[in-house]
């Protein structure tokens, strides 16, 4: 930092300070200077009473930010965060700055790798209580620099820690949003040598790549039938005759959000959280859908009239909430932060959601991403994912996470039980590699599926995105019928894939591996 910007601990309204703030410095430079000032204030004011030093540093920082904005005629500057333990401030990182660090052992959340530091008390089922005081800490020495992977204490009632970094006193210290349900952490602004240190310690470092909705063409506005075809096609009457409506079961939706005011969700309690590209929580006063996709998907799973499991609870993570070249997209950090939040029950349910619908994807078939999803399943969470809509390009264009062996992948059929031309298929991704198997696992209605869209309307949409929540809803019915399936994804998957009927004769040139175990059929539920 330039010597002239190092600042002192004198009066915040002193003449030198005002002169400094009148400089037309870039906000990034100001933020960097603010970091140094805050560290000095903490040392000066908190030598005897550390708590007082933190409070004083925060007070002075707020006053300097106010003056900087005033003398530079700025309505706002890029947001400065405060790391909960160090008090260090920094500008919010861009998507490209963020890295996902997959911790060395996928069994870490079961306490298998004891390299811990303190972890604030966490709510959750007994399977996760064993890590209440464990978190991965990578601590290495290279040229006198120490790198630490730490977790900030959770914000009260928010359930998600802050991102942060503190480089005072010549020490590189990275503060992470720790995803305990995935065995991973999200860290801002890693330098190449820091990445090398983490990789040398056995971690896998992933770029924060873009993830998109599984593309669906714009739907046609329609009036819903009394019994939409997708419900008839899966023999929903058999489930209703047994009183199976999803009551007492919770479905997580990882998507673009939801319009909770739609009549399909009348009287339903919906938990909602939006996430930023950095994985942080995006504060919102009320739930919203950044597209129409999330509302459509959620209603297929649990809508009052068009849903497979109309009495199921919904917990919605809005992780795709910006547009790029006409597409609704998000980031890998958003996806993983949303999954972690869902596993923790949206911050309110003690045991997390029972099944997660993932109607999104991307070409991210690498070991690190696979390890996070595999670990998620090992901790008792069942993921149902759309296989993708690039089937017209031929085999092998299916998307992640649908191609992973640890999720239930869903393809699409039409009203005549013909496999949709857009429905993807191909080899599954597993580690270690086993005998070659194919995805999808199961087929469900995915052509002209009528469901809700924001504004109280209905549209008919095509896509494996629509087939996916049909299967997620069916999983909820199975859990209601047999509560022992809760937290048992292996047995739930086995029983779900057993609720199928063979596909009829398909078009010439059809690849039988494209249809999975057959089409979902609840006749024998």
Checking if the pLDDT of 79 tops 50, the result is no
Task: Report helix, strand or coil for 271.
Answer: strand
Whether residues 389 and 468 fall in one domain:
yes
Checking if the pLDDT of 299 tops 80, the result is yes
Q: Are 106 and 112 in contact (CB under 8 A)?
A: no
Active-site option among 233, 291, 331, 465: 465
Checking if the pLDDT of 5 tops 70, the result is no
d(CA 92, CA 30): 14
Q: Are 299 and 452 in contact (CB under 8 A)?
A: yes
Checking if the pLDDT of 273 tops 80, the result is yes
Q: Are 316 and 265 in contact (CB under 8 A)?
A: no
In a domain, 352, yes or no: yes
pLDDT at residue 215, rounded to an integer: 58
Lowest mean pLDDT among 12-26, 237-251, 300-314: 12-26
Give per-residue pLDDT as tens, 166-184.
444 433 444 568 788 888 8
Whether residues 184 and 268 fall in one domain:
no
In a domain, 185, yes or no: yes
Q: Are 257 and 289 in contact (CB under 8 A)?
A: yes
First to last CA, the chain: 67
Number of Cβ within 10 Å of residue 94's Cβ equals: 12
What is the phi-psi region of residue 487: left when phi exceeds 0, alpha when psi lies from -120 to 50, beta otherwise?
left
Calculate mean pLDDT across residues 66-85.
55
Task: Report helix, strand or coil for 442.
Answer: strand
Whether residues 204 and 233 fall in one domain:
no
Task: Report helix, strand or coil for 60.
Answer: helix
Checking if the pLDDT of 3 tops 80, the result is no
Whether residues 484 and 364 fall in one domain:
yes
Instruction: Please report, for residues 271, 297, 343, 469, 522, the alpha-carbon distance to residue 239 in angstroms, rounded to integers and kept in the order given.
Output: 26, 20, 27, 16, 7
Residue 395's pLDDT band (boundaries 50, 70, 90)?
very high
Calculate mean pLDDT across residues 290-312.
97
Active-site option among 35, 108, 166, 255: 255
In a domain, 86, yes or no: no
Residue 347's pLDDT band (boundaries 50, 70, 90)?
low
Report the half-sphere exposure of 96 (CA within 13 A, side-chain side).
0
pLDDT at residue 369, rounded to an integer: 92
Last residue of a domain, one of 187, 208, 229: 208
Give per-residue pLDDT as tens, 461-488.
999 999 999 999 999 999 999 999 999 9
Number of Cβ within 10 Å of residue 427's Cβ equals: 16
In a domain, 87, yes or no: no
The percentage of the chain sitting over the pLDDT mark of 70, rounded to a whole number, equals: 69
In a domain, 78, yes or no: no
| Sheet architecture: strand order including 220-221 | 220-221, 457-461, 449-453
Residue 322's pLDDT band (boundaries 50, 70, 90)?
confident
Last residue of a domain, one of 167, 182, 208: 208
Whether residues 476 and 400 fall in one domain:
yes
Question: From the CA atom positions of the chain, what is the Rg in Å?
Answer: 25
pLDDT at residue 356, rounded to an integer: 98
pLDDT at residue 493, rounded to an integer: 97
Catalytic residue list contains 4: no
Q: Which two tokens stand for residue 49?
A: 């009473």
pLDDT at residue 16, rounded to an integer: 53
pLDDT at residue 413, rounded to an integer: 98
Give per-residue pLDDT as tens, 188-201.
777 777 787 778 77
Whether residues 219 and 188 fall in one domain:
no
Whether residues 405 and 266 fall in one domain:
yes
CATH number of the domain enclosing 225: 3.40.50.200
In a domain, 392, yes or no: yes
pLDDT at residue 132, rounded to an integer: 31
Whether residues 183 and 216 fall in one domain:
no
Checking if the pLDDT of 209 tops 50, the result is yes
Catalytic residue list contains 521: no
Q: Which two tokens stand for residue 433?
A: 């590699």
Active-site option among 81, 136, 262, 293: 293
Whether residues 336 and 482 fall in one domain:
yes
d(CA 231, CA 254): 22
Give per-residue pLDDT as tens, 154-170.
332 333 333 444 444 43
pLDDT at residue 54, rounded to an integer: 62
Q: Which two tokens stand for residue 399?
A: 């998307």
Tell which residue, 283, 315, 281, 284, has the closest CA to residue 298. Answer: 315
What residue numbers bound the domain in which 247 lies? 211-502+512-524
pLDDT at residue 403, rounded to an integer: 95
Last residue of a domain, one of 208, 236, 268: 208
Where is pLDDT greater, at 265 or 432?
265
Calculate mean pLDDT across residues 270-283.
91
Where is pLDDT greater, at 162 or 355?
355
Residue 187's pLDDT band (boundaries 50, 70, 90)?
confident
The number of folded domains in the chain is: 3
pLDDT at residue 375, rounded to an integer: 87
In a domain, 316, yes or no: yes
Residue 444's pLDDT band (boundaries 50, 70, 90)?
very high
pLDDT at residue 415, rounded to an integer: 97
Residue 41's pLDDT band (boundaries 50, 70, 90)?
confident
In a domain, 357, yes or no: yes
Checking if the pLDDT of 328 tops 60, the result is yes
Whether residues 412 and 450 fall in one domain:
yes
Tell which residue, 484, 504, 505, has the closest CA to residue 495. Answer: 484
Whether residues 188 and 318 fall in one domain:
no
pLDDT at residue 122, rounded to an integer: 31
pLDDT at residue 298, rounded to an integer: 99
Checking if the pLDDT of 137 tops 60, the result is no
Instruction: Please report, for residues 10, 70, 130, 307, 493, the alpha-carbon distance to residue 60 in angstroms, rounded to integers and kept in the order given.
Output: 10, 15, 40, 54, 56
Whole-number mean pLDDT of the chain? 77
Calculate mean pLDDT across residues 206-214.
85
Whether residues 202 and 235 fall in one domain:
no
Catalytic residue list contains 293: yes
């Amino acid at each position: 930092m330039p010597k002239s910007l190092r600042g002192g601990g004198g009066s915040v309204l002193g003449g030198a300070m005002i002169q400094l703030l009148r400089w037309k410095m870039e906000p990034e430079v100001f933020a960097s200077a603010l970091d140094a000032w805050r560290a000095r204030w903490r040392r000066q004011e908190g030598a005897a009473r550390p708590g007082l030093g933190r409070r004083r540093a925060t007070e002075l920082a707020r006053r300097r930010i106010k003056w900087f904005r005033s003398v530079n005629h700025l309505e706002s500057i890029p947001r400065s965060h405060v790391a909960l333990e160090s008090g260090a401030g920094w500008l919010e990182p861009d998507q490209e700055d963020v890295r996902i660090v997959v911790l060395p052992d996928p069994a870490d959340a079961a306490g298998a790798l004891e390299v811990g530091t303190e972890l604030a008390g966490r709510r959750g089922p007994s399977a996760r209580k064993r890590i209440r005081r464990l978190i991965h800490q990578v601590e290495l020495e290279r040229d006198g620099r120490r790198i630490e992977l730490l977790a900030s204490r959770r914000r009260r009632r928010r359930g998600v820690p802050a991102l942060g970094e503190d480089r005072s006193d010549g020490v590189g210290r990275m503060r992470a949003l720790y995803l305990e349900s995935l065995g991973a952490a999200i860290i801002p602004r890693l330098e190449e040598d820091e990445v090398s240190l983490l990789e040398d310690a056995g971690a896998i470092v992933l770029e924060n790549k873009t993830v998109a909705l599984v593309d669906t063409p714009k739907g046609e506005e329609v009036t819903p039938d009394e019994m939409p075809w997708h419900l008839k096609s899966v023999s929903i009457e058999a489930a209703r005759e047994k009183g199976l409506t999803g009551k007492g079961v919770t479905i997580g939706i990882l998507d673009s959000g939801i319009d909770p005011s739609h009549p399909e969700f009348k009287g339903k309690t919906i938990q909602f959280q939006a996430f930023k590209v950095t994985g942080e929580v995006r504060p919102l006063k009320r739930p919203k859908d950044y597209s129409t996709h999330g509302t459509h998907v959620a209603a297929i799973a649990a809508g009052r009239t068009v849903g497979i499991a109309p009495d199921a609870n919904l917990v919605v993570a809005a992780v795709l909430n910006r547009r790029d070249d006409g597409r609704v997209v998000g980031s890998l950090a958003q996806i993983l932060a949303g999954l972690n939040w869902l596993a923790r029950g949206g911050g309110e349910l003690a045991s997390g959601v029972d099944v997660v619908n993932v109607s999104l994807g991307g070409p991210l078939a690498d070991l690190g991403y696979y390890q996070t999803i595999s670990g998620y399943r090992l901790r008792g969470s069942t993921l149902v994912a759309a296989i993708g809509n690039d089937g017209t390009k031929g085999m092998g264009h299916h998307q992640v996470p649908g191609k992973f062996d640890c999720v239930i992948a869903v393809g699409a059929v039409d009203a005549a039980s013909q496999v949709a031309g857009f429905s993807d298929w191909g080899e599954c991704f597993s580690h270690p590699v086993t005998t070659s198997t194919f995805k999808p696992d199961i087929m469900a209605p995915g052509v002209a599926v009528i469901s809700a869209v924001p504004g109280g309307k209905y549209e008919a949409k095509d896509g494996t995105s629509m087939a996916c929540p049909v299967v997620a809803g069916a999983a909820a019915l199975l859990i209601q019928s047999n509560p022992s399936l809760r937290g048992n994804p292996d047995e739930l998957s086995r029983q779900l894939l057993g609720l199928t009927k063979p596909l009829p004769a398909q078009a010439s040139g059809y690849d039988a591996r494209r249809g999975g175990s057959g089409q979902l059929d609840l006749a024998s539920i």
